[in-house]
Structure 1
Amino acid sequence: MKRNSRLSLALHTLSHMAHAPDNLRKSADIAAHAGTNPVVVRRVLGSLRQAGLLVSEAGHSGGWRLARPPQEITLADVYLALDERLAAPKTDDTAHSCNVEHVLHDRVSKVMAEVEQTLIQKLSETTILEIRDSAD
């Protein structure tokens, strides 16, 4: 998995957090470990917080920790929390009305939606705890 993707960053971070789920982790420490910027980390972890996968505590001694036990967080939960989709949403661009483009978009979108459903199903079969345990 490429190291610069949001999904890769999120899964890597949560897998490390699974070793000590109640410990708070600072964005700067996560960023240093992942080789990225703390702002990027905060954006990604903020999406996970909104999805109920993480909680954050503000302040000098604050940080991020898992909101649920790692055995209850699947890779699909993380993928869906980041709201990244394989199929691009259809736009209502009437100014550019090429029939080939419309048919192509509809067909490709249908295939991509089916592929994504399979991806989500497969990701739902693995938990963060399983990743942690496999890495030990």
Structure 2
Amino acid sequence: MKRNSRLSLALHTLGHMAVNPRKMRTSAEIAEHAGTNPVVVRRVLGKLRQAGLLISEKGHAGGWQLAREPQEITLADIYLALDESLIATGRTEEPSRCSVEHALHQKVASVMADIEKSLIERLASTTIAEVGGAESGHL
């Protein structure tokens, strides 16, 4: 997985949050730890908030924290909340007039859908509590 992907940022951040779920973390703290911009953090974590995985509070004592217990949040929850696929769909801009190409695209799309389903099922079997390792003191 790319280090700079939204999924990587989300998994990394929530993995740290699982260690101390009630601790508020600011976008700036998360961004510094992840080596990215606070705006990127807010965009990614905003999607997780919309999915009910995080809560946020504004103001001096504000920040981000888990909305549910770490044992109740699966990696699939995070993946689905971001609405982004790791599996290439093979879609093209315009439908092909070639029957062979059309059949090939249909078959590939079916295989990719099966892979995506399998990926989500596997991610659903792991919670962030299971991957939240020892706190390094950075986040």
TM-score, with length taken from structure 1: 0.88
Q: How far 1:100 moved relative to its partner?
A: 4.0
Within a 5 Å distance, the mapping from 1:7-22 to structure 2 comes to 7-22=7-22
Secondary structure in structure 2 of the residue aligned to 1:18: helix
Q: How far 1:91 moved relative to its partner?
A: 6.7
Aligned counterpart, 2:51: 51
Q: How far 1:102 moved relative to its partner?
A: 2.7
Aligned counterpart, 2:137: none
Q: How far 1:98 moved relative to its partner?
A: 4.1
* C-alpha distance in structure 2 between counterparts of 1:101 and 1:56, whole Å: 48
**Gap regions ≥5 residues in structure 1:** none
* C-alpha distance in structure 1 between counterparts of 2:89 and 2:79, whole Å: 16
Aligned counterpart, 2:23: 23
Aligned counterpart, 2:94: 93
Task: Give the ranges of 4+ consecutive aligned residues of structure 1 lying more than 3 Å apart after TM superposition.
Answer: 87-94, 96-101
Deviation readout 1:32-54 (Å, 9 max, x if unpaired): 00001111111110110111100
Q: Which has the higher contact order (CA 8 A, sep 6+)?
A: 2
Structure 2 CA distance for partners of 1:35 and 1:92, relative to 1, 3 Å:
closer
* C-alpha distance in structure 1 between counterparts of 2:130 and 2:60, whole Å: 32
**Gap regions ≥5 residues in structure 2:** 135-139
Secondary structure in structure 2 of the residue aligned to 1:56: strand
Aligned counterpart, 1:111: 111
Aligned counterpart, 1:123: 123
Residue 25 of structure 1 contacts residue 64 of structure 1 at CA under 8 Å; is this kept in 2? Answer: yes
Deviation readout 1:44-96 (Å, 9 max, x if unpaired): 101101111001111232111000000000001111111112253857736x6
Residue 55 of structure 1 contacts residue 65 of structure 1 at CA under 8 Å; is this kept in 2? Answer: yes
Residue 2 of structure 1 contacts residue 8 of structure 1 at CA under 8 Å; is this kept in 2? Answer: yes
Q: Give the number of aligned pairs.
A: 133
Deviation readout 1:97-134 (Å, 9 max, x if unpaired): 444443232111110110011111111111000001xx
